[in-house]
Structure 1
Amino acid sequence: MELNEYPGPIHSSVLYDQDNHVSSAVWDGQERGVLRCHEHTSMLDQWKLTPIQIKLVEKAGFGYLRLLPAMSLDNALIAALVERWRRETNTFHMTVGELTITLEDVALSLGLAIGGEPVIGPTSAPSLVCEKLLRRVPEDLNGGMVKLTWLKELFSECPEDAPVEEIECCTRAYLLYLVGSTIFSTTTGNKVPVMYLSLFENFDKAGKFAWGAGALAFLYRALGNASLKSQSTISGCLTLVQCWSYSRFNVGQPKLNQEPDNNCFPVVLKWKGKSSSRTKCSVASYRKALDSLNDCDVQWLPYKDIDLTAIPEDIKSSLILRASRTMLLCFDKAERHLPDRCLRQIGLHQTIPKDVQRWERKSRIVDHGVDLRGKMDLALKEWSERWLHIVEGGGDIADEVEYMQWYQKITRKYIGRVTSSLESEYQRTVTTMREIAKIADVVSAEGLGSYNRGLLDEVKNVVHRCLTEQLEEIPKDKMKRKGNRKRRQKDDLSMEYEPEQ
C-alpha cells in the first residue's frame, strides 16, 4: 500500500457520512487516543439478594445477566474497533468485509431474550415513578436520571423477612442498577434513566420484553455516536463488544489458562476467570492489526460447536432472529439490524446487500407523560413483522467475489497511514526496551549474591532510565507535528509502560 494511497470510500453511496467519521481525523493525523469507556459493573457484586429477590430477577428476564462478573475493559481495543464502526450500516467495516454484533451474539453472550415485546413504554414524571415503585424519591433527579450510588446505598441489602412490598421495591432498584451499569450504561457518569423503572412494575410482564434487542439498539446507537470524530466517550454494553471481538479475531485476546468451555452459557463467562496477565497495546497497534486482517484470520461462526443443551429453550427458539432484517427499539432509540450485510456470520456466502434506507436518528430528552409507541409506528411495525423478514439464500463463491469487488469501492479500506521507517524504528526501540524492563522487574533476586543482585538492580535502573528518556524525547520528525498529537502519543506510551514499584 502506498503511503498516501486514498483509503476510500471511492463511492459515497453507502458511507455518506465519512467527513464526520473518526477515520477522517485519524487520516489527517488528529489522534484522539483511547475512548473513555463507561460501564459500571465493579460494584454489582456488593448487592446482597435474598432467594426471593433472585427468583424475581429471573422472572424479569435477568437471571443470566446478573451472574456475569465484572470484566476489565481494554479501552484501546474498543477504540480501535469503534474506528471501523459505521452508523450508516450498523456494521464494522473490516478489510475482509462487514461484520456486526447480531441478536444471536446478545442472546448467547449475555443470556438475554431477543424475541419478546419491544423495550418501550410510556414515560411519566420521574419523581412519580420513584414514589410508586421504590417508595422513595432522590433529591436530585435532573434530566430524569437517578444516581447508581443512591440506589446501592438504600436498596442493596434487603432483609429476608422484609414485607413483600419492600422486597419488590429493593428488587426493582437492583434491576434498575443492573441495566444502568451494563446494557444501558450512559456517558453521563454514575446515573441511569428512571424511565426503565416503569418496565419493572410487574415482574412477569418484565420477563416478556426483548431485553436483548433493546440492549443491541442501545449499543448500536452508542457505537455510532462514538464513531464520530467529535466524541471521546462510549457507553452501552462494552463487555459484549470486547467478548464479541475475542470470539472472532486473534487481536487483543487474553491468554487462557485453560481451553474455553463450549458448554459455557452465557458465552461471556468463558472469557472471565481464565485469562493470565495481558500486555495491553495502544490504539495504533490494534488499528494496524485490524488493518491487516485476512479472511483466514476471522472466526465467522464462533458458536458452531456450542452445546445446544446448555441454552434455555426460549432463547434457543428465537435464535433464527439473528437473520432478521428488522428494527431494534429501546425507548426513543430505533436502529436497523441488517444481517444481509454479514451473511458469512450465519454460514452463507456473502452477496451484495440491499441499499440502506437513511434513518433519521433523533437524540432528544424524552417528554414526561408521552407514550413513545405513538411516535415510532414505522419502527414498531418492522419489529412486529421481524419473523417475516428472515434473510435466506446467500449465493455462491462467484457472488462473493463480486461482492468483494463492490465492497472495495464503497468501504474505508484502512484507518491508519503507513508509518515512516524512522518512526517505525523508534516504536520498535521503545517496545524492545519495555519488554526488557518487564523481564527485569519479574526476575527474582532470591538466591543471588550481593554482586549479582547489584548487577540486576543496575540493569533495571539503566533500562528504566533509557525508557523514561525515550518517552521524553520524541524524534525530530515528530517534533514538527502538532503539539496535541505529540502529547497524546506520549501519553499512550506512558499508559502502556508502568514500571513496577
Structure 2
Amino acid sequence: MESPADPGPIDNSVLNDQDNHVSSAVWDGQERGVLRCHEHTSLLDQWKLTPKQIELVEKAGFRYLRMIPAINFDSALIAALVERWRRETNTFHLPVGEMAITLEDVALLLGLAIDGEPVIGVTNSTPSLLCEKLLGRVPEDLTGGMVKLTWLKEFFSQCPKDASSEEIVHRTRAYLLYLVGSTIFSTTTGNKVPVMYLSLFEDFDKAGEFAWGAAALAFLYRALGNASLKTQSTISGSLTLLQCWSYYRLNVGRPRLNQEPNQGCFPLVLWWKGKQSGSRMRCGIVSYRKALDSLKPSDVEWLPYKDIDRTEIPEDIQNSLTLRSSKTMLICFEKAERHLPDRCLRQFGMLQGIPKDVQRWERKSRAYDHGVDILGKMQSELDEWSMRRLHIVEGDDDDVEEGEYMQWYQKITRKFVGRLTSVETEFKGKVEALNEIANMLDGFSEDGMDSRDRNLLDEVKDIVHKYLIDEVEDSQKKIGTKSTKKRKRKDVAMLDLKMQ
C-alpha cells in the first residue's frame, strides 16, 4: 500500500525511468542545486549588421529571433522546472496534470516557423572545408567539429561599409551561426557551436524554408530530458523560451510588469524583456519547488494567448498555427523528439482525457560526424514529420471526464518532488519508533515462555537491531553530517543496551 509520504508513481508504466531522475536524488536528500544555464545572448547586440545583412537574416527565417535581447535567467526557477520535466512524455508533471512547451509557444514567443522542411542536413565536407567555403576563413581550433562563438564575433561582427557582396554573405552566415549557437541551439560547452549548422545557411532562400521553431523545440526537449537526470549539472537550448513559457503559464516566479504589455508586441517574449520587467525578490530552488509542489488550477493560465490581438501576429505565423496541436516528430539534425499535444489538451482549450500510451522509439543520440548520412538514419522520423497535418489532435469533449483523467494521473505521476519533512527529521522519527519497539520488547516477560517463544523474541530483537543499523547507515549517506555519525554511535549503543 502507498505510504502517505510516497511521491509515486504508484504505477510506473509511464514514468519508467524514475531511478535516474533528479527527483529521486532530491527525495534522498542529495541536492544538486541550481543548474548552470547556457544561453550566450549577452554579446549579440555587439554585432553591427548592415541593411543588406538584415535583409539576408530575415530571408533566412530569423526576423524576430534577432530582435530578442538578452534575458536575466532565474536559474533556481529553471532548475525547479527541470525537476518536473519527464523525458518519457516530453511534458512537465505538475499537481494539476501534464503541461508542455508546444509548437504554439515557440511560434508566438520566439516568432520562429513551425512549418516547413525539417532542420537536417548531409555534408560530405570536413568542418574546415565547410568554413573555408561558406565563411572564407578557417579557425585554428575546430575540436569536435565546433567553432568558438568568440572567434565568430572577433572576425565577423563588424562589416565594413565597402565590403564586397561575397564578404557580406560570409559575415551574415557567421552571424546566423552565432545567433543559433547562442540561443536556440546553445550547447553545454559554454562557448561553441557545431559547424554543421553552417551548411544550412549556404542558400538564404532555402534557409527560410526550414521549420526552425520545430527544431528549436526538439533541441530544448532533448536538453530538458538530459538535465532532468540526476547526473547532470548543466542545461542548454532556448532557456529564454523555457523561462518565458513559465511566466505566461504559471503563477510561480513571475516578475511584475511596470506597465501593462503593449498590444502589437511581437514576438511575445518581448512582454517580459528589458525595461518592462519590474524588480522582484527571487526565490531559491527549494521555495520554487514547494510552490510547484502545491500548484493549484488557479495558478495556471491554460490559454495565455486568447486575448492577444491576432491581427498583430504575422500572417505566416498565424497560418502555421494549425499545426500547434500536431502529434508529430520534431527534428533537429540527429535529435528527434515527440511532440505530444494529446497529453496537454487544456493548453488548446480542450478537455483532458486519459492519453494513449507513449509510443516507444529509439532516441537518436549519436554525435554529429561529418560525412554521416543522417537522412538515411532517420527515415521513419522524417516520414512522421511529413505527415504532420494528418495527425492534428482535435479532442473529443463528448466522451471526456477530467475527473477520470486526474484519478489516472495521480497513479502514474510523481506527485511532488520535495519532501514534506526533511530526510533528517524523517530519520529521527524512524529511530524513535524503533526505540519504542525495543522498549516494548523489553517489557515482555520471559516467565512461562518455552524455548521456541524465547527464540522468536530474540529473533525479533535481532531484526529491530539490524534495521536500526541499516537505517542509520542509509541516512548517514543521505545527510552526510558529523552529527549523524555521532547519532549513529549513540543510537546503536542505546539499542545494544536494550537488547542485552
Q: TM-score range by the shorter chain?
A: 0.7 to 0.9
Deviations 1:191-239 (A, max 9, x none): 0000000000000000000000000000000000000000000000001
Shift of 1:240: 0.5
Q: Which residue is equivalent to 2:213?
A: 212
Amino acid at match of 1:482: G
Alignment of 1:254-269 (within 5 A): 254-269=255-270
**CA distance in structure 1 between the partners assigned to 2:477 and 2:286 by the alignment:** 19
Q: Which residue is equivalent to 1:313?
A: 315
- Asked whether the equivalents of residues 263 and 307 of structure 1 are also in contact (C-alpha less than 8 Å), the reply is yes
Structure 2 residue 95 is the aligned partner of structure 1 residue 71: no
The DSSP-based 3-state class of the residue aligned with 2:147 is: strand
Q: Which residue is equivalent to 1:446?
A: none
Q: Which residue is equivalent to 1:168?
A: 169
Shift of 1:480: 9.6
The DSSP-based 3-state class of the residue aligned with 1:246 is: helix
Deviations 1:392-431 (A, max 9, x none): 12425951111000000000000000136999xxxxxxxx
- Asked whether the equivalents of residues 95 and 414 of structure 1 are also in contact (C-alpha less than 8 Å), the reply is yes
Shift of 1:278: 1.9
**Structure 1 residues 363 and 40 mapped into 2: Cα distance closer, same or farther (>3 Å)?**
same
**CA distance in structure 2 between the partners assigned to 1:161 and 1:202 by the alignment:** 23
**CA distance in structure 2 between the partners assigned to 1:115 and 1:104 by the alignment:** 11
Q: Which residue is equivalent to 2:364?
A: 362
**CA distance in structure 1 between the partners assigned to 2:406 and 2:13 by the alignment:** 16
**CA distance in structure 1 between the partners assigned to 2:13 and 2:476 by the alignment:** 36
Q: Which residue is equivalent to 2:467?
A: none
- Asked whether the equivalents of residues 352 and 400 of structure 2 are also in contact (C-alpha less than 8 Å), the reply is no
Shift of 1:482: 1.8
Q: Which residue is equivalent to 1:192?
A: 193
Deviations 1:294-349 (A, max 9, x none): 11210000000111111111111111211100000000000000000000000000
The DSSP-based 3-state class of the residue aligned with 2:214 is: helix
Q: Which residue is equivalent to 1:39?
A: 39
Q: Which residue is equivalent to 2:378?
A: 376
Structure 2 residue 441 is the aligned partner of structure 1 residue 406: no
**Structure 1 residues 351 and 3 mapped into 2: Cα distance closer, same or farther (>3 Å)?**
closer
Alignment of 1:77-96 (within 5 A): 77-96=77-96
**CA distance in structure 2 between the partners assigned to 1:305 and 1:396 by the alignment:** 26
Structure 1 stretches lacking a partner, 5+ long: 424-476, 487-501
**Structure 1 residues 72 and 483 mapped into 2: Cα distance closer, same or farther (>3 Å)?**
farther
The DSSP-based 3-state class of the residue aligned with 2:189 is: coil
Q: Which residue is equivalent to 2:243?
A: 242
Shift of 1:155: 0.1
Shift of 1:105: 0.3
The DSSP-based 3-state class of the residue aligned with 2:324 is: helix
Q: Which residue is equivalent to 2:480?
A: 482
Q: Which residue is equivalent to 2:447?
A: none
**CA distance in structure 2 between the partners assigned to 1:31 and 1:322 by the alignment:** 36
Q: Percent same amino acid at aligned positions?
A: 75
- Asked whether the equivalents of residues 262 and 305 of structure 1 are also in contact (C-alpha less than 8 Å), the reply is no
**CA distance in structure 2 between the partners assigned to 1:398 and 1:122 by the alignment:** 45
Amino acid at match of 2:479: R
Alignment of 1:247-286 (within 5 A): 247-272=248-273, 273-286=275-288
TM-score, with length taken from structure 2? 0.83
- Asked whether the equivalents of residues 122 and 372 of structure 2 are also in contact (C-alpha less than 8 Å), the reply is yes
Shift of 1:161: 2.3
Deviations 1:61-112 (A, max 9, x none): 0010000000000000000000000000000000000000000100000000
**CA distance in structure 1 between the partners assigned to 2:395 and 2:65 by the alignment:** 34
**CA distance in structure 2 between the partners assigned to 1:404 and 1:88 by the alignment:** 19
Q: Which residue is equivalent to 2:446?
A: none
The DSSP-based 3-state class of the residue aligned with 1:323 is: coil
**CA distance in structure 1 between the partners assigned to 2:220 and 2:424 by the alignment:** 40
Amino acid at match of 1:212: G
- Asked whether the equivalents of residues 107 and 113 of structure 1 are also in contact (C-alpha less than 8 Å), the reply is yes
- Asked whether the equivalents of residues 127 and 145 of structure 2 are also in contact (C-alpha less than 8 Å), the reply is yes
Shift of 1:483: 4.7
Q: Residue 397 of structure 2: which of 390, 395, 398 is its match?
A: 395
Amino acid at match of 2:58: E
Q: Which residue is equivalent to 2:51?
A: 51
Deviations 1:439-476 (A, max 9, x none): xxxxxxxxxxxxxxxxxxxxxxxxxxxxxxxxxxxxxx
Amino acid at match of 2:142: L
Amino acid at match of 2:77: L
Q: Larger Cα Rg: Structure 1 or Structure 2?
A: 2
Amino acid at match of 2:84: R
- Asked whether the equivalents of residues 36 and 234 of structure 1 are also in contact (C-alpha less than 8 Å), the reply is yes
**CA distance in structure 2 between the partners assigned to 1:66 and 1:418 by the alignment:** 44
Q: Which residue is equivalent to 2:126?
A: 125
**CA distance in structure 2 between the partners assigned to 1:479 and 1:333 by the alignment:** 37
**Structure 1 residues 312 and 135 mapped into 2: Cα distance closer, same or farther (>3 Å)?**
same
The DSSP-based 3-state class of the residue aligned with 1:370 is: coil
Q: Which residue is equivalent to 2:21?
A: 21
TM-score, with length taken from structure 1? 0.83
- Asked whether the equivalents of residues 28 and 478 of structure 2 are also in contact (C-alpha less than 8 Å), the reply is no
- Asked whether the equivalents of residues 349 and 397 of structure 1 are also in contact (C-alpha less than 8 Å), the reply is no
Aligned positions, number: 431
Q: Residue 339 of structure 1: which of 316, 338, 341 is its match?
A: 341
- Asked whether the equivalents of residues 125 and 368 of structure 1 are also in contact (C-alpha less than 8 Å), the reply is yes
- Asked whether the equivalents of residues 3 and 417 of structure 1 are also in contact (C-alpha less than 8 Å), the reply is no
Structure 2 stretches lacking a partner, 5+ long: 426-474, 485-500
> Which of 247-256 and 149-158 deviates more?
247-256
